[in-house]
Structure 1
Amino acid sequence: MGSGVGLVDVVDVVVVGGGHNGLVAAGYLARAGLRVRLLERLDTVGGAAVSAHAFDGVDARLSRYSYLVSLLPRQIVADLGATVHLSGRRYASYTPDPGDGGRRGLLIGPQASFGAIGAAGDEEGFAEFYRLCRAVTEPLWPTLLEPLRTRTQARRHVLAAHGPDAGTAWDALIEHPVGQAIKTSVTSDLVRGLIATDALIGTFARLDEESLHQNICLLYHVLGGGDGRWDIPVGGMGAVTDALATAARAHGAQLITGAHVLAVTPDGEVRYRRGAEEHRVQAAVVLSGVTPAVLAGLLGEPAPTVAEGCQVKVNLMLRRLPRLRDPAVTPEQAFGGTFHVNETWSQLDAGYCAAAAGRVPDPLPCEIYCHSLTDPTILSPELREAGAATLTVFGLHVPHALQSGPPDQVRSRLTEAVLASLNTVLAEPIEDVVMADAHGRSCIETKTTADLEDGLGLTTGNIFHGGLQ
């Protein structure tokens, strides 16, 4: 490797950014015999798909940013020879009814409890909605490993797989605001909201928008594996990207961390700084694993307009799972899947309107994941024995514009909103079961959109690099 700006190394491919997509690209290209150099600004690869000991003195490796896996075809894992283990969750979701403070709730798992919330009539429509989704996603999923099809080609492919009825599914999910299909399928405000959340994760939209941004987000969340299943990565998200990095290196890719890319030219020259030294490398091809806005800056071009991030993420370490107000469901069942809090259809729409008017939604729509219930390997034996648990909370409808101000104050305000929302459906304050770290501080870590921008280079904190297309 050249040292000093006057020397230029020559490779076939430079990959800018060492997140999971960059690692996969580096692995495949190196496997094909190309000279590949991947440049990552941080001291470790993985991007947002990393694990960390987030709390001093607490031996738990939390998936700090991203936390579940769906859109990773097994063929990629096999092709690269990566050792990635995923574990399914026994329960899909639990949604306490905010109308009675969580004393009843809908559990979706081996059996569903629609009757418990007075929505027995929606069970068939709920199943039918996801059958509609699969009519589109089952034929589309394998095409992700093929050259990208046009919209017309994709529709033709879906109809060829499932016949004329698939045309109805295509129109409902792709051509018209998906809120229409949700409202037609089910009548309960809670059940409608349960379906709708997948259309709003990281996407600031209303469910009846003509923009169809919500449709794109829903398709993203129901596409994986053809059935929309989201699995727990055994060992945490860092185990996934560690495996991808190991595979890429085994195929001959050069992964350089601590490499701050300064500029990229259209003819393939990349300048980067590592420590006190500046380097240049010439490549036939440069692949970007950074956001469009960051890439534009490296090219010296005007930054494109990007959709703002619109979420807050809170990681918690608990001494034990909190008690529920619903006597029919155990905490292990409720937290064994996705735990939806204040995400009825009405609350989601009210939350959007509040945020659009410049206010943090109250209550804040949230969903919770407990990694350690499915995969306790992220905890030390002592924590497992003590019954400790990890919680990840994802808050919706918190656009970047609402998160301006001193960072500590923003984190504190949003943490309070998240915890207050959780407490509306629990039998005890969540704060009462939060573990303390080695310094006696509560094990609560909040990541705002500004934190994602500053720490990971995600422009305005958008988890989709600027909005799904």
Structure 2
Amino acid sequence: MPLLHHERARHDHDVVIVGGGHNGLTAAAYLARAGRRVLLLERDDHLGGAAVSAQAFDGVDARLSRYSYLVSLLPQRIIDDLGLDIRLVRRRFSSYTPDPRDPSRGLLVDADATPEASVAAFAKVDAEADAAAWGSFYADTARLAERLFPTLTEPLPTREEARALVDDARAWSEFVERPLGEVVDARFTSDLVRGVVATDGLIGTFTELDDPSLDANRCFLYHVIGGGTGDWDVPVGGMGAVTGELARAAREAGAELVTGAEVLSVDPDGRVIYLHDGGEHEATAATVLSNVAPAVLERLLDTAADAAAVSERFTEALVDSAIAPAVQSPFVPDLKVGLPSVVRERLRHLAEPEGAQVKVNLLLTRLPRLRDTSVAPEVAFAGTFHINELESQLATAYRTAARGEVPSPLPCEIYCHTLSDPSILAPELVEAGYQTLTVFGLHAPHRLVERLGNDALRERLQAEVLASLNSVLAEPIEDVIATDAAGRPCIEVKTTLDLEHALAMPGGNIFHGPLSWPWAEPGAPLATPAERWGVATRHPHVLLCGSGAVRGGAVSGIGGHNAAMAVLEASGA
């Protein structure tokens, strides 16, 4: 659609930010506080992106964290720098895992348990020998967290610098150089314990544990280094409270935050065309920050006519950098003859991001009873509740999904926000004992949408989630699901296509594409501030500030912080 001069409203800014998710808001707050003129454009009628709270059920006063739901990677440094009033609740119980082979027993991991009680908990599921291995394994990840997490808000270390920081040859080999499945199998004997450990490498990532691409290792690393401890905390007030504080900080610093503004194109020289209030507008800036997925940014840059040249550069860059996972493009490169199969597969997924999960929100009238009567529901659901996640079940589910079929049973992880923070419910619901459940189903890749159609897939995944829950409960979960004002069950299912439509995440990939190692690989360019901070694109005036940046992914604000630091460094601030 041509730009009409009488509709054009020119804005001159230092920075235009495309996308109002938590990373865009973080960047806006930092830059505005530094005196920069910032315009942020968000296509939705609200800010926050995937980190929002919403009243999901008609007539029910419950504001659920609709998409993202826990916080681990948000550095205290960002909270302090921006003066954010954010409260996070640490969960005492790390996890509970009913044994799918005998749901009358399960493994409860209690952070406050004595050594003797921990051994007894593992013995309950015939895994006594793994109790000591568990402590040793997570002592290793704690050292990784302590040494690597502070680097996430600093310029990229090189791979060798990161290795020197870790200063543990065995840990580096196990977590960075060998497939995760190989390491888990070497250190644990129980199928159940192996599965609990391995899930951190599979959340949102469609891969096998032994895949030599090490996708599972990268996913695992980010899940265990958050906050320097690896803990995942509950945000008081829900995820909307987090992004609400970021928006407040940005506005108070002077950033202009515009909702209902759909960006139509981005020029590499800093010209942004967007639709707002029925007309097209133009904004110009010295720098554009992209808080959308790299594949979406490429479409906005409108480089389709140059696709062949981009494809060639893209392939060469990936091969030359040993398949650096931070680089992304919507153009599928011509796969050169002789490339190893893992390289070809990696290129395909870089070009076509694919999510691999289903998100289900439920409101319950009370917590359901468990088949394991030795554990109270209030304890079992207080941490991460693992269902049908034996290592062998995870492997079978992957193979099933890779064939284009829905896994059954579906591996699931459950979280109960309201046990840690009931403030997201109206007082009368709290008084009546209502609780929320968040279900994250693994190995539900985007390719299933094409096979089954989204409506049919959503219905099938809902049935599989409920069946997975019922397999370990002493009563049907359906008996305790609340109803909305129209008498409908309070259950909301979000497929990968639903995420793509709602959040502009290609393929429903919650990380905007494959995760990168949190360092610069050998040969990676580090000549510019954008390159040093891991936010560069092939255009010097267009930077990444979202999950697609190096060290992006999850609710962390790190992408936004690092993009802001790159802008300030480039300007000599």
> Is TM more than 0.5 here?
yes
Give yes or no for the alignment of 1:240 onto 2:248.
no
Give yes or no for the alignment of 1:320 onto 2:322.
no
Q: Flag the 1:176–1:5 CA change in 2: closer, same or farther, 3 A.
A: farther
Q: Cα deviations across residues 68-88 of structure 1 (Å, max 9, x unaligned)?
A: 001100110111111111111
Cα distance in 1 between the residues matched to 2:282 and 2:6: 8
Cα distance in 1 between the residues matched to 2:8 and 2:459: 48
Find the partner of 1:385 among 431, 439, 449: 431
Kindly indicate whether the alpha-carbon contact (under 8 Å) linking 1:82 and 1:243 is maintained by their aligned counterparts in 2.
Answer: yes
Q: Cα deviations across residues 225-268 of structure 1 (Å, max 9, x unaligned)?
A: 12210000000000000000000111111110000000000100
Unaligned runs of 5+ in 2: 305-329, 332-350, 517-573
Q: Deviation of residue 409 (structure 1)?
A: 2.1
Kindly indicate whether the alpha-carbon contact (under 8 Å) linking 2:292 and 2:504 is maintained by their aligned counterparts in 1.
Answer: yes
1:200-219 mapped onto 2 (5 Å cutoff): 200-219=202-221
Cα distance in 1 between the residues matched to 2:275 and 2:296: 16
Letter in 2 for 1:107: L
Cα distance in 2 between the residues matched to 1:294 and 1:22: 15
Give yes or no for the alignment of 1:24 onto 2:35.
no
Kindly indicate whether the alpha-carbon contact (under 8 Å) linking 2:272 and 2:284 is maintained by their aligned counterparts in 1.
Answer: yes
Letter in 1 for 2:109: I
Q: Deviation of residue 413 (structure 1)?
A: 1.0
Q: Deviation of residue 120 (structure 1)?
A: 1.1
For the residue of structure 2 that corresponds to 1:117, the secondary structure is coil
Q: Flag the 1:57–1:178 CA change in 2: closer, same or farther, 3 A.
A: same
| Structure-1 residue corresponding to 2:130 | 122
Q: Deviation of residue 446 (structure 1)?
A: 0.1
Give yes or no for the alignment of 1:336 onto 2:382.
yes
Find the partner of 1:374 among 414, 420, 435: 420
| Structure-1 residue corresponding to 2:494 | 447
For the residue of structure 2 that corresponds to 1:298, the secondary structure is helix
Q: Deviation of residue 5 (structure 1)?
A: 4.3
| Structure-2 residue corresponding to 1:274 | 276
Q: Cα deviations across residues 260-294 of structure 1 (Å, max 9, x unaligned)?
A: 00000010000000121111011000000000111
Aligned Cα RMSD in Å?
1.2
Letter in 2 for 1:380: A
Q: Deviation of residue 399 (structure 1)?
A: 0.6
Kindly indicate whether the alpha-carbon contact (under 8 Å) linking 1:3 and 1:278 is maintained by their aligned counterparts in 2.
Answer: no
Find the partner of 2:11 among 9, 17, 22: 9
Q: Deviation of residue 108 (structure 1)?
A: 0.5
Cα distance in 1 between the residues matched to 2:285 and 2:273: 11
Letter in 1 for 2:372: D
Q: Flag the 1:59–1:185 CA change in 2: closer, same or farther, 3 A.
A: same
Q: Deviation of residue 185 (structure 1)?
A: 1.5
1:421-432 mapped onto 2 (5 Å cutoff): 421-432=468-479
Q: Deviation of residue 328 (structure 1)?
A: 1.0
Find the partner of 1:189 among 188, 191, 200: 191
| Structure-1 residue corresponding to 2:564 | none
| Structure-2 residue corresponding to 1:349 | 395
Q: Deviation of residue 416 (structure 1)?
A: 0.4
Kindly indicate whether the alpha-carbon contact (under 8 Å) linking 2:411 and 2:441 is maintained by their aligned counterparts in 1.
Answer: yes
| Structure-2 residue corresponding to 1:461 | 508
Q: Deviation of residue 317 (structure 1)?
A: 0.4
Q: Cα deviations across residues 284-315 of structure 1 (Å, max 9, x unaligned)?
A: 00000000111000001242413300100100
Kindly indicate whether the alpha-carbon contact (under 8 Å) linking 2:180 and 2:217 is maintained by their aligned counterparts in 1.
Answer: yes
Kindly indicate whether the alpha-carbon contact (under 8 Å) linking 1:291 and 1:459 is maintained by their aligned counterparts in 2.
Answer: yes
Letter in 1 for 2:400: A
Cα distance in 2 between the residues matched to 1:196 and 1:390: 26
Kindly indicate whether the alpha-carbon contact (under 8 Å) linking 2:49 and 2:503 is maintained by their aligned counterparts in 1.
Answer: yes
Kindly indicate whether the alpha-carbon contact (under 8 Å) linking 2:122 and 2:128 is maintained by their aligned counterparts in 1.
Answer: yes
Q: Deviation of residue 407 (structure 1)?
A: 3.1
Letter in 1 for 2:170: T
Q: Flag the 1:3–1:78 CA change in 2: closer, same or farther, 3 A.
A: farther
Cα distance in 2 between the residues matched to 1:449 and 1:7: 36
Cα distance in 2 between the residues matched to 1:407 and 1:306: 18
Find the partner of 2:355 among 309, 314, 329: 309
Find the partner of 2:78 among 53, 76, 79: 76
Q: Deviation of residue 408 (structure 1)?
A: 2.6
For the residue of structure 2 that corresponds to 1:266, the secondary structure is coil
Kindly indicate whether the alpha-carbon contact (under 8 Å) linking 2:294 and 2:512 is maintained by their aligned counterparts in 1.
Answer: yes
Kindly indicate whether the alpha-carbon contact (under 8 Å) linking 1:4 and 1:278 is maintained by their aligned counterparts in 2.
Answer: no
Q: Deviation of residue 406 (structure 1)?
A: 4.1
Find the partner of 2:481 among 424, 428, 434: 434
Unaligned runs of 5+ in 1: 160-165
Kindly indicate whether the alpha-carbon contact (under 8 Å) linking 2:175 and 2:217 is maintained by their aligned counterparts in 1.
Answer: yes
Cα distance in 2 between the residues matched to 1:275 and 1:384: 40
Cα distance in 2 between the residues matched to 1:210 and 1:383: 49
Find the partner of 2:161 among 145, 153, 161: 153
Q: Cα deviations across residues 61-109 of structure 1 (Å, max 9, x unaligned)?
A: 1000000001100110111111111111121100000011x11000001
1:287-302 mapped onto 2 (5 Å cutoff): 287-302=289-304
Letter in 2 for 1:127: G
Q: Deviation of residue 3 (structure 1)?
A: 9.1
| Structure-2 residue corresponding to 1:162 | none
Percent identical residues: 59
Cα distance in 1 between the residues matched to 2:380 and 2:216: 27
Kindly indicate whether the alpha-carbon contact (under 8 Å) linking 1:4 and 1:279 is maintained by their aligned counterparts in 2.
Answer: no
Kindly indicate whether the alpha-carbon contact (under 8 Å) linking 1:306 and 1:467 is maintained by their aligned counterparts in 2.
Answer: no
| Structure-1 residue corresponding to 2:151 | 143
For the residue of structure 2 that corresponds to 1:103, the secondary structure is strand
- Greater Cα shift, 232-241 or 218-227: 218-227
Kindly indicate whether the alpha-carbon contact (under 8 Å) linking 2:8 and 2:279 is maintained by their aligned counterparts in 1.
Answer: no
For the residue of structure 2 that corresponds to 1:313, the secondary structure is strand
Give yes or no for the alignment of 1:414 onto 2:422.
no
Find the partner of 2:258 among 242, 251, 256: 256
Q: Deviation of residue 116 (structure 1)?
A: 1.0
| Structure-2 residue corresponding to 1:163 | none
For the residue of structure 1 that corresponds to 2:79, the secondary structure is helix
Q: Flag the 1:12–1:190 CA change in 2: closer, same or farther, 3 A.
A: same
Letter in 1 for 2:379: Q
| Structure-2 residue corresponding to 1:107 | 108
TM-score by length of 2: 0.79
Letter in 1 for 2:22: H
